Amino acid sequence: MQPRLESRRPVIYHCIGRVVNREFVCGDVERERQRMYMRMYEDFSGCRVLAYCFMSNHFHLLLEVPPMPAGGLSDAELLGRLRAIYHEAQVDGVALELKEARRRIRQGLADASSAAAIHTRFTYRMHNLSEFMKSFTQRYTQWHNRRHRRTGHLWEDRFRSVIVEDGAACKTMAAYIDLNPVRAGMVKDPADYRWSGYGEAVGGGPTGHGRKARAGLVRAMLAHEGVGADAGLWGRDVSRRYRRILLAGAVEKQEARVGRDGGVEVRRTRKGMSAEEARREKERLEKRLEEIPYGRMLRCRIRYFTDGAVIGSRAFVNEAFVQARERFGKRRQDGARALRGVASSAKGLLWSARDLRLGVDG
């Protein structure tokens, strides 16, 4: 079972949704529509998308879910959020309800609960991971089924999610998500893929959703330093630092490739290359790959990032374990498990709540 952190701090999740039977049914138009609905429910819910990638048969979201503000939302804030997903006439109707409730409260004809009840009709869906994912996937499914004249479920079961700590884990997960089309062989540079956070941040311009994509990645990179989602910081070193992470594991195919164990396998592309020359070439490439920690593993599929339940520092994973102790076996003493396989290059820096002994790189 997926643990949940009980916290008054924002919690970050890596969410994955897959099409039934893994069918490739999402083309350019479909992926653009998914992005549109994602942004609509981001504005409505108060959650923030830090990174995302829409593929032909699945999607990834790195979603930050902050708690509801202690004092709740003002009437104006509530109406502003409703405008993200409802028609203006519907919002006007809610505005009239609130106005009448406030009038009755002032005149002593009703108490504050009458206005609170109007808020509750909508706010229960805000600042909530499950409600965000339910609303987003259902809205898209309705559109997709109408467009393709089909019925029934589009997504496999319930979405999967992994709790992600800010800092190293968050920036690693963001890069892993943005590198999906590179791993799939669709593009060589993640900046060339339109339906990802990085692609939108680079090509979307300084305003609108391009700005939102930049703000999300700034937050992914700097949340552990207390920096908010400030798109203005994107051009001040953050974009360069993030691109270094994205390209850290890039190895020219004609020279080498990353093996299943995460090591570099050098190809003798030049006729007559000796074993010693190949060894030196391997050392050169490995040194280059290690300039950014665990960069090479980002070019591989890592099950820990989709099935690990919790990813972060040892202390963070153990904290999540304590809060969800009843969901684990009685013999288990702590939560943190070392990463194996390709992911072992992050060993000691990142930990998982699940010990994926078999097929950890699948």
Contact residues for 240 (Cβ-Cβ < 8 A; gap 6+): none
3-class DSSP assignment, residue 162: strand
Judge if 145 and 22 occupy the same domain: yes
Judge if 309 and 168 occupy the same domain: yes
Q: Which of 106, 123, 140 is the last residue of a domain?
A: 123
3-class DSSP assignment, residue 160: strand
Look at residue 217 in the predicted model and tell me its pLDDT.
Answer: 97
> What's the pLDDT tens digit per position in 136-164?
999 999 999 999 999 999 999 789 999 99
Judge if 143 and 179 occupy the same domain: yes
Of 136, 181, 177, 174, the C-alpha closest to 155 is: 136
Please state the domain count of the chain: 3
Look at residue 268 in the predicted model and tell me its pLDDT.
Answer: 43
Choice between 330 and 253, residue whose per-residue pLDDT is larger? 330
Residue position matching structure tokens 């809060």? 323
Q: Please list the alpha-helical segments (H only) found in the chain.
A: 28-45, 75-82, 88-106, 113-123, 129-148, 168-178, 180-183, 197-203, 208-222, 239-247, 275-289, 304-307, 314-323
Judge if 187 and 149 occupy the same domain: yes
A 10 A CB-CB count for 197 gives 29
Average pLDDT value for residue range 227-235 = 93
Residue position matching structure tokens 């943190």? 336
CA dihedral 124, 82, 4, 303 (to 10 degrees): 150
Average pLDDT value for residue range 299-323 = 91
Using CA atoms, how far apart are residues 139 and 150, in angstroms rounded to an integer?
15
When the pLDDT of each residue in the chain is averaged and rounded to a whole number, the result is: 86
Query: Residue 335's domain is classified under what CATH number?
Result: 3.30.70.1290
Residue-range definition of the domain harbouring residue 202: 1-67+127-248+300-362
Average pLDDT value for residue range 2-31 = 86
Choice between 274 and 185, residue whose per-residue pLDDT is larger? 185
Using CA atoms, how far apart are residues 362 and 128, in angstroms rounded to an integer?
30
Judge if 96 and 14 occupy the same domain: no
Of 55, 126, 116, the C-alpha closest to 85 is: 126
Burial class (CB in 10 A: 0-12, 13-18, 19+), 43: middle
Is the pLDDT assigned to residue 311 strictly greater than 50? yes
Judge if 267 and 150 occupy the same domain: no
Prediction pTM value: 0.85
Contact residues for 342 (Cβ-Cβ < 8 A; gap 6+): 258, 260, 261, 262, 296, 297, 300, 302, 360, 361
Quick one: three-class SS letters along 180-199?
Answer: HHHHCCCCCCHHHCCCEHHH
> What's the pLDDT tens digit per position in 81-130?
999 999 999 999 999 999 999 999 999 999 999 999 999 999 999 999 99
